[in-house]
Each structure stands twice: as C-alpha cells, then as structure tokens.
Amino acid sequence: MNKTKTGVLGALTALMLSTSASVADTVKIAFIDPLSGPFAATGENAFHLFQYAVDAVVNDQGGVLDGDTFEIVGLDNKISATETLIHLQTAIDDGVRYIVQGQSSGVAAALIDAINKHNRRNPDQQVLFLNYAAIDPALTNEACSFWHFSFDANSDLKMDALTDVIAENPDLTSAYLINQDYSFGRAVAASATSMLADKRPDITIAGDEVHPIGQVKDFTPYARKIVSSGADFVITGAWGADMYGLGTSLIANGFTGPIYTYYAAASGITAGFGEAGKGSLFILAEGQTNPPASEEAEQYVAGFKEAFPGENFTLARTSNVIRMLAAAINEAGTATDVVAVANALEGLEIENPFGGTLYMRPDNHQVIQDVHVMAHTDDGVTNSLDGSPYGLLVSDSVVAAGRDSATTCEMDRP
C-alpha cells in the first residue's frame, strides 16, 4: 500500500509523457500479479514479501554493484492475461528489465510468450521473467524459455518429493486424486499416477478426477465419492476457495486420512480449518520456517512480521528470487545487460537460509531446492498463519528434490 498516489491530472500527464531510460542507480523490478479482485489477498501478501525482501536482502546490505538499489513496483493484473501484457508494456517503457509474477500458470505462460516475442523484436529493451510461484511443469519443459526462471519447485518436483515420502509409509495403500480442471490440475494428477506406479506399485488409485475450476459451490458430492471409494489418502493441487471447500467438506463428511495438498495454507484457509485440519492437512512446499532452519531465517521472518504486522510469512522463495538476482547481477557486473545476468543466473548455486542450497539448473532454468511435506498444526509452531495459532510444521524433507530429473526443454539462446 505504499503505492504513490497522484492526482488525475498527474496521471494524464504521465500518460502523455513517455518516460524513458531507467535511472542509473536503481534496478527496477515490476511485480505483476493480482492486487485486486478474488485473488488479491495472495497477491498483496506476495507483494509485501517482495518489498521486504528487496530491502532486507539488497538495499540494507549496501545494494548491488556499486551501491545500486532495487526498487519493486506493484502492478495489478487482476489475474488477467490481457492486463498482464498491458502492464508488461508499461513497465518496459518505465525502464523495468526484471519482471516477477507467479499467480496462475496461464498468465505465466502468456507472459513467457509475450516476453519471447518482445525480446526478439526489441533487442535493446530485453527483459527477464523471474517466476516465483507458477509451477505448471510445462513452463520448464516444452514451454521453457531462456528469458524465464522458475524459483518454486515445479509440480513434478514437488510430486516427486511427496511420492518419496508416501513410499516410506506402508499404511497408505489407496489414493484419490482430485484436481481442478485445467493444465496444472491435470499435470498434478498425471505425475501422481506415474510416480506412484513407479515407487509404490501396490498403491491403488481409487479415483482420479477433475472438477471445474471455481465453479463448484458445494464439494459435498465429491467428498462423499472420496469417502465411499475407500481411499486412505487424497492428493490435490486445488487452491483458493476450491481448496477450502474441498478440504472442509472432506473433513465434515468423515474423511480421516491425510490430505496432501499444494496450497492449503494462508489467505484465511489456515484459520478456516483451525482444529479440524490438524492431523489431516499436509502441504508440499519449499522454505522451512517451523522449526526455523537457521538463525538468519528466524530473524528474517521476525523482521518481516515487524515490518508488516499481522501478515503471513509464507513464500520464503520471494527472498530467494531477490538473493539470486542480486548474486547474478554482481557476478555479471551489470544490471542492464539482461543476457549477461541470465547467463550468470544459469548454474548459480548459493546457500539458502531457509535450509539447503539453491541451484539454478542451466538446462531448463528451474531452481533446485529442498522440498518439504509440512503438517497443519499448532504444536511447535513459531511462524503461525492468519493470526491463528496454526501454522506449517515440517514433517518430512527431500533434499535438492529432482536435481537430476529429466526435462524436455530445448532452449533458444540469444
């Protein structure tokens, strides 16, 4: 909410005047994600995390190169591809060379496509896309791009970690896969099916289905189906209101097994589940905060909570984006030549205060990091969410998940 607000007159003049050329000592980063509408809560939280990360990781530590500072600009795309492309154009005109975005893989794919075209057509204004949350595996496989870097473990890597954990647990014998009907949901289901078959052939898939995204008003029928299928665990990639509806229906209608999810935390979901979700909900994520992975991480979380009281600290990877970008800029010796920065990012490996290391795979631009299975609980939680006593406690970890996994990425390099 630190957006500068100027009058309408100022706005009109801003429209008229073409602002050109970035200021030499500021590295501008555009954050293009929903800041209004149904997904605003997540978008806004992420924006604040980035604001904090920029200050804590770079600006307060003396900046990059010769004291250049980072500046992050929030642009509201209302989770629409069209709005995103308009903002991309505005941002580039304003001298931005780095874009961060993450909500919705659909928007991310549109952004990659647009940036590919833009960079080819405007070699003097090239930009990099640092994706902090869109995890459709296509983005680092068939749709990969030299200009795109993925900082969250993609859904295949997370599923790889999850199935490793499931494989160790002999009590789990029957799975139910329920996902939203779109490419990411289908990718989750497909990878779960193939990896379970690979690692635990004895596990049966009691059900594998997709439901329309954002359209289901009452998840009770799905919950009934899942309960009566006899499945003893559920895997879902659903998010937002769908995740909450599905989870509460499952628990209310008598499902007692673990529910493995990608997104059942924060944005009111953790508080909404409360006691009911304890022992049932598990989330796959990177970025360990409970228990704190290091003193530095603990201080970082505390610092964020001081700067933005009442807000959730999730998405530890927002700091990774800034940390790796700063390291790459320092290595490349320039912030304006994004090809050099991209080349420096490739293969970069740094320590992650939230546990393990961060390694940018050069062949598909996917960050390799530790992936955890976290339980929704109030025991031993220091970083709690939604103002409730509940938070995410790491129960299992897979170190450097999927470091040598296969990729179909064939990158066009400049």
Partner 1 sequence: MTDTTHSFSRPFGISLRTVMPWLVATIVLLLLPFVFSANSTITVMNQMAITIIFALAYNMLLGQGGMLSFGHAVFMGIGGVFAVHVMSYVEVFGAPLPLPLLPIFGGIAGLIFACIIGSFSTRQAGTVFAMISLGVGELIAACSLIFVAFFGGETGVSADRTYGLPVFGVEFLRQSEVYYLIAGWLLLSVLLMYLYTRTPMGRMANAVRDNPERAEFLGYSARWVRFYSFIFSGFFAGIAGGLFALNYEIMTTENMSLVQSGKILLITFLGGMGFFVGPIIGAIVFTLLTTVLSRYTELGALYIGTIFVLTVMYCPRGLAGLLMMHEPAYRLGKLRLLLAPYLKLVIPGTVAVLGSAAVFEMLFHVRHATPGQHEMGLFGITFDSHSPFAWVIAIGGTLAAMVITRKLIPQINDAWHDANTVEGGAK
Partner 2 sequence: MDLILVNLIDGLVTGLLLFMLSAGLTLIFSMMGVLNFAHASFYMLGAYFGYQISQYMGFWMALLFAPIIVGIFGAGVERYGLRRVHQHGHVAELIFTFGLALLIEEAVQFFWGKSQVPFMVPEALDFALFSISGNAIPAYKIFMIFIAIGIFAGLLYVLTKTRIGMIIQAALSFPRTVEALGHNVPLIFMCVFGVGTALAAVAGVIAGPVLGTFPGMAFVLGSIVFVTIVIGGLGSLWGALFASLLIGWMTTFAASYNVGLAEILTAIGISKPVDMANSPWRDFWQITLSQIGPILPYLLMVLTLIFRPHGLFRKGGL
| Contact residues for partner 2, defined by CB under 8 A | 38, 40-41, 44, 181, 207, 209-212, 214-218, 220-222, 224-225, 227-228, 241, 244-245, 248, 252-254, 267-269, 271-272, 274, 386, 388
**Residue placing its CB nearer to partner 1 in the complex, 225 or 305:** 305
- Among the listed ranges 79-87, 248-256, 295-303, 319-327, the one in contact with partner 1 (CB under 8 A) is 79-87
Per DSSP, the residues of 305-369 read: HHHSTT-----THHHHHHHHHHHHHHHHT-SS-HHHHHHHHTT-EEE-TTSSEEEE-TTT-BEE-
Q: What is the CA radius of gyration of the chain?
A: 21
Among 24, 60, 62, 117, binds partner 1 (CB under 8 A): 117
Query: Which entry of partner 2, partner 1, none binds 413, CB below 5 to 8 A by partner kind?
Result: none
Query: Which entry of partner 2, partner 1, none binds 15, CB below 5 to 8 A by partner kind?
Result: partner 1
Query: Which entry of partner 2, partner 1, none binds 38, CB below 5 to 8 A by partner kind?
Result: partner 2
Nearest to 158 by CA among 376, 393, 395, 372: 372
Residue pair 46/102 in contact (Cβ under 8 Å)? The answer is yes
Among 41, 81, 190, 271, binds partner 1 (CB under 8 A): 81
Which DSSP letter does residue 154 get?
Answer: P
**Residue placing its CB nearer to partner 1 in the complex, 136 or 396:** 136
Query: Which entry of partner 2, partner 1, none binds 271, CB below 5 to 8 A by partner kind?
Result: partner 2
Whether the bond between 291 and the residue before it is cis, its omega within 30 degrees of 0, is yes
The pair of structure tokens assigned to 115 is 């940036």
* Cα–Cα distance for residue pair 362/366, rounded to 1 Å: 8
Residues composing the chain: 414
Residue pair 241/233 in contact (Cβ under 8 Å)? The answer is no
Give, for 92, the enclosing helix (H) or strand (E): helix 81-93
Q: How far is the CB of 322 from partner 1 (least distance, A)?
A: 19
Q: How far is the CB of 4 from partner 1 (least distance, A)?
A: 5
Number of residues near partner 1 (by CB under 8 A) = 54
- Among the listed ranges 1-9, 241-249, 341-349, 352-360, the one in contact with partner 1 (CB under 8 A) is 1-9
Query: Which entry of partner 1, partner 2, none binds 357, CB below 5 to 8 A by partner kind?
Result: none
Nearest to 34 by CA among 133, 125, 122: 133
State whether residue 255 is helix, strand or coil.
coil
Q: How far is the CB of 29 from partner 1 (least distance, A)?
A: 17
Cα dihedral sign, 277-283-287-293: positive
Query: Which entry of partner 1, partner 2, none binds 228, CB below 5 to 8 A by partner kind?
Result: partner 2
Q: How far is the CB of 269 from partner 2 (least distance, A)?
A: 7
Q: Is 259 in the site for partner 1 (CB under 8 A)?
A: no
Site for partner 1 in 34-63 (CB under 8 A): 35-37, 48
Determine the angle formed by the axes of helices 40-53 and 295-307, rounding to 10 degrees. Answer: 120
**Residue placing its CB nearer to partner 2 in the complex, 53 or 223:** 223
**Residue placing its CB nearer to partner 1 in the complex, 111 or 153:** 111
Which DSSP letter does residue 274 get?
Answer: G
- Among the listed ranges 181-189, 197-205, 271-279, 330-338, the one in contact with partner 1 (CB under 8 A) is 181-189
Q: Is 340 in the site for partner 1 (CB under 8 A)?
A: no
**Residue placing its CB nearer to partner 1 in the complex, 17 or 406:** 17
State whether residue 50 is helix, strand or coil.
helix
Residue pair 64/330 in contact (Cβ under 8 Å)? The answer is yes
Nearest to 156 by CA among 129, 183, 124, 180: 183
Nearest to 238 by CA among 186, 296, 298: 186
By the criterion CB under 8 A, which residues form the site for partner 1?
1-8, 10-12, 14-20, 35-37, 48, 76, 80-83, 85-86, 89-90, 92-94, 104-106, 109-110, 113-114, 117, 121, 181-183, 212-213, 215, 307-311
